[in-house]
């Protein structure tokens, strides 16, 4: 960039035409961009950044481990109870006999508890629903992580576009300053015009320095969102979207209610609470355990069989049943609240999408072109002495404001699209899937 600024002094010759100046500026920027691209690190697009985040982010890997742990709990729920085996060994000796018999005695006892079928099936079903809830929680966390990566990516694209725009502003402002300085030197322009041009150039340089710092900050935010170190000297590849096409709002709402992982998690927790309530009610039934015993002494041996029944006489599990009912009611209310909240959030986000789309369309087709035309007219009028430098600088500031508003509007459109994709749980799908929002963009602003 410094080479381009130094080269501008050559471009400020009095007899150069405006078209030739712009052509040479574009050539210099293209050459500098090629040199920077040759020296820069790898270029990462959005899909590559998402892939790194999904495969390397420690928090995402931890959420997947939680799903594996829940599957282990489901395996535990399917296990049968182990039998209890015990034994005793000793010696015996008869008493009150003339020829007492003595010898070893032992007994072996085995007990096997029998599960109530309704309790077992309810426990297994509850564990399976917990697995679904944990997996839905993992999906929700991944969607949030991908949304954060997308937002940080679009933020970096916005800051890059703003930095490029401020660099172009500085180049143009320095050209204006050099032209005013030349006219002042030959006595065609007052000192006030030169002072005003110097002030505008300093302001443009300040804006460029601030834009570069915001680019570095956006890079740091993107690295934080990815959650894994990126290659040295990396740069992003892509552009802010010009337009985003979404299905009708009713279709989006139907997809949200059927695919949102947060709703799926709460629905699974509700079903798990229903199974736990059924299990607590079934646990009031008597528990049965089969017993087998064998005993041997020096004179006799015995084989016995029987059962042990636990009768729910004092503890009818009223507390456990009340707790399970309360948990079930809580999950139902939470599910209803989430459905209402997500529906209202989708309505508000869809309105923001319409506003952002309209702003981008108006700025691209009307405001920016009119501001560019006004800037060209003011430049020509100043060149022929019909207007002063103030009118030219005002027209240039108007164009800058319209251009910056277009960059901000495209960024707003991208963020709204990311939020809607997150609600629909399609954030980490491939670019432009069937039925998903499609975004079109360009790395440069419209050339008017």
Higher pLDDT, 177 or 19: 177
pLDDT at 15: 32
Q: What is the pLDDT of residue 155?
A: 95
Q: Is 446 exposed, middle or buried (0-12, 13-18, 19+ CB in 10 A)?
A: middle
Q: Distance (Å, rounded) from C-alpha 171 to C-alpha 156?
A: 22
Is the per-residue pLDDT at 82 higher than 60? yes
CA distances from 336 to 12, 267, 274, 276, 339 (A): 68, 10, 16, 21, 5
Mean pLDDT across 414-434:
75
Q: What is the reported pLDDT for 196?
A: 82
Least confident of 221-230, 251-260, 315-324, 366-375: 366-375
Residue 162, pLDDT > 80, answer: yes
Residue 8's H or E segment, with its range, is helix 2-11
What is the four-CA torsion angle of 160, 163, 167, 173, rounded to 10 degrees? Answer: 140
Tens of pLDDT, residues 199-250? 888 988 999 999 999 999 999 999 999 999 998 889 999 989 888 899 999 9
- Provide the pairing of β-strand 287-296 with 438-441: unpaired
pLDDT at 134: 96
Q: What is the pLDDT of residues 271-293, one digit of tens each?
A: 999 999 999 999 999 999 999 99
Predicted confidence at residue 27, as pLDDT, reads 52
What pLDDT is recorded for position 436? 42
Question: Where residue 3 falls among pLDDT bands split at 50, 70, 90?
Answer: very low
Q: What are phi and psi of 377, to 5 degrees?
A: -65, -45
pLDDT category at 418 given cuts 50, 70, 90 is very high
Q: Which of 323, 334, 322, 341 is nearest to 267 (CA)?
A: 334
The token pair that represents 329 in the structure block = 């009611």
- Give 263-266 contacts, CB < 8 A, sequence gap 24+: 263/335, 263/338, 263/339, 263/342, 264/132, 264/133, 264/136, 264/139, 265/133, 265/136, 265/137, 265/140, 266/133, 266/331, 266/334, 266/335, 266/338
Query: In the chain, pLDDT over 70 holds for what percent of residues?
Result: 85
Whether residue 441 has pLDDT greater than 60: no
For 181-214, give the DSSP string: HHHHHTTSS-HHHHHHHHHHHHHHHHHHHHHHHH
The pLDDT, as a whole number, for residue 401 is 87
Structure tokens at 202: 């300093």
Out of 85-94, 181-190, 369-378, pick the least confident. Answer: 181-190
Q: How do residues 366-382 score in pLDDT, each as one tens digit? A: 888 888 888 888 878 77
Q: Residue 382 has which token pair?
A: 């100043």
Q: Is residue 10 over pLDDT 60? A: no
Residue 309 has pLDDT above 60, yes or no: yes
> Which DSSP string do the residues of 374-390 spell out, in sequence order?
HHHHHHHHHHTTSS-HH
Residue range 165-180, pLDDT digits in tens: 999 888 888 888 888 8
Higher pLDDT: 19 or 173? It is 173
Pick the CATH number of 40-441 from 2.10.109.10, 1.20.58.220, 1.20.1600.10, 3.40.50.11540: 1.20.1600.10
Mean pLDDT across 139-148? 94
Residue 32 or residue 359, greater confidence? 359
Q: What is the mean pLDDT of residues 30-51?
A: 70
Min mean pLDDT across 79-93, 190-204, 246-260 is at: 190-204
Q: Among 50-64, 98-112, 263-277, 402-416, whose mean pLDDT is lowest?
A: 98-112
C-alpha to C-alpha distance for 11 and 3, rounded to whole angstroms: 13
| Residue 447 and residue 368 in contact, taking contact as beta carbons nearer than 8 Å | no
Which of 134, 117, 70 minimizes the C-alpha distance to 279? Answer: 117
322-337: average pLDDT:
96
Looking at per-residue pLDDT, the higher value among 419 and 437 belongs to: 419
- Going edge to edge, which strands form the sheet with 287-296? 84-93, 102-114, 287-296, 301-310
Of the ranges 168-177, 183-192, 407-416, which one carries the lowest mean pLDDT score? 183-192
* Predicted local confidence at residue 5, as pLDDT: 37
Q: Mention every residue, 6+ apart, whose C-beta is less than 8 A from residue 292.
A: 109, 110, 111, 304, 305
Indicate left, alpha or beta for 197 from its phi (over 0: left) and psi (-120 to 50: alpha): alpha
Question: Which segment of 8-17, 116-125, 244-253, 296-305 scores lowest on mean pLDDT?
Answer: 8-17
The Cα–Cα gap between 245 and 31 comes to 36
* Domains of the chain, residue spans: 1-39, 40-441
Residue 14: pLDDT over 70: no
Which is more confident, 358 or 37? 358
Lowest mean pLDDT among 102-116, 271-285, 422-436: 422-436
The larger pLDDT score, comparing residue 291 to residue 443, is at 291
pLDDT value at residue 306: 92
- Tell me which residue has tokens 């050459």: 31
Mean pLDDT score of the chain, rounded to an integer? 84
Indicate if the pLDDT at residue 24 is higher than 90.
no
CA 298 to chain centroid: 77
Are the CB atoms for 263 and 140 separated by under 8 Å?
A: no
pLDDT computed for residue 399 by the predictor: 86
């Amino acid at each position: 960039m410094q080479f381009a600024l130094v080269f501008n002094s050559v471009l400020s010759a009095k007899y150069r035409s405006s078209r030739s100046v712009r052509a040479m500026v574009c050539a210099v920027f293209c050459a500098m961009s090629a040199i920077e691209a040759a020296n820069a690190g790898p270029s990462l697009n959005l899909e590559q950044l998402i892939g790194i985040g999904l495969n390397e982010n420690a928090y995402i890997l931890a959420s997947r481990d939680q799903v594996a742990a829940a599957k282990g709990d489901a395996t535990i729920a399917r296990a049968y109870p182990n039998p209890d085996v015990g034994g005793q060994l000793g010696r015996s000796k008869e008493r009150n006999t003339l020829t007492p018999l003595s010898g070893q005695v032992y007994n072996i006892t085995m007990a096997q508890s029998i599960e109530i079928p309704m309790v077992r099936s309810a426990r297994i079903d509850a564990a399976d629903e917990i697995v679904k809830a944990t997996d839905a929680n993992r999906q929700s966390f991944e969607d949030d992580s991908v949304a954060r990566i997308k937002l940080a990516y679009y933020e970096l694209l916005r800051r890059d576009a703003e930095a490029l725009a401020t660099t172009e502003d500085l180049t143009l402002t320095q050209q204006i300053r050099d032209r005013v300085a030349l006219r002042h030197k030959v006595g065609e322009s007052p000192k006030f015009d030169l002072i005003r041009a110097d002030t505008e150039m300093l302001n443009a340089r300040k804006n460029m320095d601030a834009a570069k710092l915001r680019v570095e900050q956006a890079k740091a935010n993107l690295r934080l969102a990815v959650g894994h170190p990126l290659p040295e000297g990396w740069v992003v590849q892509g552009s802010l979207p010009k337009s985003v096409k979404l299905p009708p709002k009713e279709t989006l709402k139907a997809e949200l209610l059927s695919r949102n992982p947060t709703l799926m998690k709460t629905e699974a927790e509700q079903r798990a609470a229903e199974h736990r309530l059924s299990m607590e009610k079934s646990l009031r039934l008597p528990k049965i355990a089969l017993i087998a015993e064998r005993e041997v002494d020096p004179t006799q041996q015995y084989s016995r069989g029987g059962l042990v029944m636990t009768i729910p006489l004092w503890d009818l599990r009223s507390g456990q049943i009340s707790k399970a009912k309360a948990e079930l009611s809580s999950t139902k209310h939470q599910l209803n609240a989430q459905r209402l909240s997500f529906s209202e959030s989708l309505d508000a986000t869809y309105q923001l999408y319409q506003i952002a789309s309209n702003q981008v369309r108006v700025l691209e087709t009307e405001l920016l072109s009119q501001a560019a035309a006004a800037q060209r007219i003011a430049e020509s009028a100043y060149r022929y002495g019909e207007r002063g430098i103030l009118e030219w600088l005002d027209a240039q500031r108007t164009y800058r404001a319209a251009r910056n508003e277009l960059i901000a509007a495209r960024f707003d459109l991208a963020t709204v699209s990311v939020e809607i994709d997150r609600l629909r749980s399609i954030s980490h799908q491939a670019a432009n899937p069937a039925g998903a929002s499609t975004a079109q963009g360009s790395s440069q602003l419209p050339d008017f």
